[in-house]
């Protein structure tokens, strides 16, 4: 397991997955995706684990995909990436998942929340999905799940115009259960996860599946996105923008 992701099994059947790469704002590398994927698959395989909590570091949930990693893997494409393997696992995880979002949640840092059963945020939480701005397309079934949650027009603002979402608005839109002080956030998420883990497992699993709706649609959406993402990742549109972020200069066309 990468030390940039800590996996702790707590009392009460809760697995805490903590992103721990603060020097890069918890941007996710292949090794981190692998560790998270294994953490989720392991939770599903374990009778002892009844819920998972995702947490970041103070002021940062995650800056999303590591853009340097993306540049490096453009030739291999998205289809074979640890990111897509994680996304597939995320979408099919049967164990209830709870997110504790403090500060920035960019890209997959935001779209991961769409798969969580409960989402708590600090007042400083700021969700942003700048896929198109980066020459990419939405991932993690967000092109399907977000319009379903917030309506197509709002989803268009968030996914095409990359409009940032502050904690209160995210709560008003139904993307966040509650906004909590940062120092209580993880504790509260764990408390709620512990409540989920204590429920009768069969009833919980069946009810969760009913609430979440059509699993096949979610999986079809993320596979369709993956194809488009793969094509865009190889394009000069995305390569120019990723390079611009890494060199911190803006391409002329995005001025």
Q: Which residues bind ligand COA (CB under 6 A)?
A: 24-25, 27, 63-68, 104, 106-107, 130-131, 134, 245
DSSP assignment of 126-171: EEE--TGGGT----TTHHHHHHHHH-HHHHHHHHTS---EEHHHHH
Closest CB 5 distance from ligand COA, rounded Å = 16
**Nearer Cβ to ligand COA (106/218):** 106
Helices (H), the chain: 30-45, 67-72, 82-92, 108-111, 142-150, 152-159, 167-172, 182-197, 201-212, 215-233, 236-247
Closest CB 96 distance from ligand COA, rounded Å = 26
**Nearer Cβ to ligand COA (16/140):** 140
Closest CB 103 distance from ligand COA, rounded Å = 9
**Nearer Cβ to ligand COA (175/190):** 175
Q: CB neighbours (10 Å) of residue 38?
A: 17
Closest CB 205 distance from ligand COA, rounded Å = 31
Integer CA distances (angstroms), 123 to 12, 26, 102, 104, 154, in order = 28, 19, 8, 11, 21
**Nearer Cβ to ligand COA (117/139):** 139
**Nearer Cβ to ligand COA (127/180):** 127
DSSP assignment of 59-84: TEEE--B-HHHHHHTTTT-STTSHHH
- For residue 18, give both structure tokens: 């903590």
Closest CB 147 distance from ligand COA, rounded Å = 19
Rounded to the nearest 10 degrees, the angle between the axes of helix 236-247 and helix 215-233 is 80
**Nearer Cβ to ligand COA (49/104):** 104
Residue closest to ligand COA, measured at CB: 107
Closest CB 70 distance from ligand COA, rounded Å = 8
């Amino acid at each position: 397991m990468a030390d940039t992701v800590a996996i702790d099994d707590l009392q009460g059947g809760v697995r805490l997955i903590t992103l721990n790469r603060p020097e890069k704002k918890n941007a996710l590398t292949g090794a981190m995706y692998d560790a998270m994927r294994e953490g989720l698959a392991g939770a599903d395989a374990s009778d002892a684990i009844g819920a998972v909590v995702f947490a970041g570091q103070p002021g940062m949930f995650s800056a999303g995909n590591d853009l340097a990693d993306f540049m490096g893997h453009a030739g291999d494409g998205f289809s074979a990436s640890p990111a897509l393997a994680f996304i597939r696992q995320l979408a099919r995880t049967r164990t209830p998942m709870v997110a504790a979002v403090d500060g920035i949640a960019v890209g997959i840092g935001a779209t991961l929340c769409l798969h969580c059963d409960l989402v708590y945020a600090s007042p400083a939480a700021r969700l942003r999905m700048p896929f198109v701005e980066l020459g990419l397309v939405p991932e993690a079934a967000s092109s399907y799940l977000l319009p379903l949650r917030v309506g197509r027009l709002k989803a268009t603002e968030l996914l095409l115009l990359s409009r940032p979402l502050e904690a209160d608005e995210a709560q008003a839109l139904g993307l966040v259960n509650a906004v909590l002080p940062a120092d209580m956030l993880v504790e509260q998420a764990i408390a709620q996860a512990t409540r989920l883990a204590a429920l009768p497992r069969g009833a919980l699993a069946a009810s969760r599946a009913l609430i979440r709706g059509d699993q096949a649609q979610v999986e079809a959406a993320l596979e369709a996105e993956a194809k488009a993402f793969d094509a865009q990742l190889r394009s000069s549109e995305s390569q120019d923008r990723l390079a611009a972020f890494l060199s911190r200069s803006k391409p002329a066309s995005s001025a």
